[in-house]
Each structure stands twice: as C-alpha cells, then as structure tokens.
C-alpha cells in the first residue's frame, strides 16, 4: 500500500467513464489529482477520494502518470498540446484512454515523444458499470519497453490489459472491436424481431440460438430482449450501458479509418446508418441494444 500511496496520478476527464476510473485509482491508495470542466463531476470525484484541481496544469504538475478520458480527437490534441505537455514533468507517463481516431492518437504520441515523454493510447471496453467496478479491458498502443509501467498504472481500473502494438494500435483495436459489436447486435436484433413476427417466442429463440451456431456475445452476454440475461440493459428500459450515440461515434471512426486505409467495410457502413437513424429518432441516450425497438417497428421512448 505504501508503494501505491507514493503513486501520483493526474486524471483529466471525469465523465461517465472517467469518474469511475479515477475513483478506482484513489481506492487503490494512490494520490489522484483530478480535473474536469464540470463542477459536479469534480465534487463527485472529491467524494470518491480524489483531490480536485483548478486546472489541467495544476493537476499534472507533480504527476507520475497522467490519464486522460476525453470526448474526441480534437479535445485530446488540444489538451495535450496546450496543457499536459507544457506542464507535466518529463518523467510522467502519459496515458490517453479516450476513444479517438488513429491519426490523432499517433499525432499526439509523436508530439509527446518529441518532447521526451512516454505515451500510450489505451482505449477501453466494458462500459460504465465496468468503469465503476474496475473491470475494464484496455487495448494499449505504446513502445514495448513502456508497457509494463502502463500495465501497472492501469491495474486498479482493469481486468485485462493487452498491448495491441505501437502507437495508434490501441485505437485501431477498439474501433475494429466495436464495429464487430455494432454489427453483431443488429444481427441479433433482426433475428429476435423476425422470431416474434413468425410467432416464435423470442425467449425460446434465445434458448435455442444461445446453444446453436448463432451464439455470440451480443446474444448471450447482452441480450437485447428482456428476460434471458438479467444484467443486460434490456431489463432496465435500455438505461445505463453503452449509449447509442457512443456506438455511433465508434462506427463513424471505423468508417473514417476504413476510407483512409482503403478497406472494405460495407456491413460497418450499414450499421452506422442504422444507428444514425435510431439516434435521430431519439434513441441516442438509450443503450445501443435498444435498436431492437427500431427493428420491431417501435419508436424510441424518449432519450
């Protein structure tokens, strides 16, 4: 515990994901200087054992490691260029856990390395519940020599930390994984909606498909039909979980990356279109599995 208490973390970005992640760093006995533009988020972080900072510069000034969890690439680029790199000690390990485009991750890594910093892109999978429980999966892009230290810093927030490759590889892994998730969830929802129309009890279909070749994570761990998987957001009116707007963001990143790389991703494009439609119809705040309602012909019930 003494070693953990000596670890000084700066945590920037205390939203739905970052708040729980920062709290787990504090719970591990580490000293956490936290910053967010939201006063309410800072207050919540203080209640979880973090020390609120008045600015990014103040949070990072004595940090051993800086962890950022920000909305998108432009935020990451500006926060690092204007606030983290000028004010953090050169010895600090910089870890960006935001989900952003591969190009931005590599650009920030290049700037950090040019100024003598160690940097990792380390986006996460698991959602808000895993962020609070400290059971996220981290996909890391970094120099191989830095990975052991990245893993140590991430440990209080993680159930699995995997080095995907060099800078940008963490972001590549995240957007490819979430493209699989977005596409497979639509397939499960289409099948459930069709089963219902054919007069087959969707719960009975779940029982059959979960033990057949249609079995997949979207069906058996996150079932969009209420009942079969008690922990799934489908049992809470699709509240909590992974918002449709966030899935749409990740699918857009995947399509942008595919266009740049010259890769064919037609099902990813179709999934993006369906989630964009669901978002515009008011489903942006619902868990992404609520797209089942669109496929059943039902309008989203609020956001």
Active site residues: 174
Which residues fall within 8 angstroms of residue 61, CB to CB, at 6 or more apart? 87, 88, 89
| Torsion angle of C-alpha atoms 75, 78, 83, 84, degrees rounded to 10 | 70
The DSSP code sequence of 104-169 is: HHHHHHHHHHHTT-EEEE--EESHHHHHHHT-EEEEEES-GGGHHHHHHHHGGGEEEEEEEESTTH
The neighbour count for residue 43, using CB atoms within 10 Å, is 13
Rounded Cα gap, residues 1 and 252, in angstroms: 42
Phi, psi for residue 106 in degrees, rounded to 5: -70, -35
CA atoms within 13 A on the CB side of 13: 21
Residue 164's beta-bridge partner residues?
A: none
83 and 55 Cβ atoms separated by less than 8 Å: yes
CA atoms within 13 A on the CB side of 126: 23
């Amino acid at each position: 515990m003494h070693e953990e208490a000596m670890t000084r973390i700066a945590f920037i970005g205390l939203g739905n994901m970052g708040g729980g992640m920062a709290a787990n760093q504090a719970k591990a006995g580490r000293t956490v200087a936290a910053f967010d533009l939201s006063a309410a988020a800072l207050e919540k972080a203080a209640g979880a054992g973090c020390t609120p900072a008045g600015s990014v510069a103040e949070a990072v000034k004595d940090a051993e490691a800086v962890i950022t969890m920000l909305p998108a690439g432009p935020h990451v680029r500006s926060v690092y260029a204007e606030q983290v790199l000028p004010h953090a000690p050169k010895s600090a390990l910089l870890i960006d856990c935001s989900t952003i485009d591969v190009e931005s991750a590599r650009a920030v890594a290049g700037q950090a390395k040019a100024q003598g910093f160690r940097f990792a892109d380390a986006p996460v999978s698991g959602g808000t519940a895993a962020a609070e429980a400290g059971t996220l999966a981290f996909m890391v892009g970094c120099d191989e020599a830095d990975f052991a230290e990245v893993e140590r810093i991430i440990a209080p927030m993680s159930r699995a930390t995997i080095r995907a490759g060099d800078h940008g590889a963490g972001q590549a892994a995240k957007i490819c994984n979430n493209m699989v998730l977005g596409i497979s969830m639509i397939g499960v929802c289409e099948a459930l909606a069709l089963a219902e129309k054919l007069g087959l009890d969707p719960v009975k279909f779940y029982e059959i498909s979960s033990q057949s070749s249609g079995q997949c994570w979207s069906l058996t761990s996150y079932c969009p039909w209420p009942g079969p998987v008690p922990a799934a957001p489908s049992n809470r009116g699709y509240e909590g979980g992974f918002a449709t707007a966030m899935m749409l963001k990740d699918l857009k990143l995947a399509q942008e990356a595919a266009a740049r790389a010259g890769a064919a991703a037609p099902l990813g494009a179709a999934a993006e279109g369906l989630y964009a439609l669901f978002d515009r119809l008011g489903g942006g705040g619902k868990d992404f599995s609520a797209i089942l309602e669109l496929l059943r012909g039902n309008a989203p019930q609020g956001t």
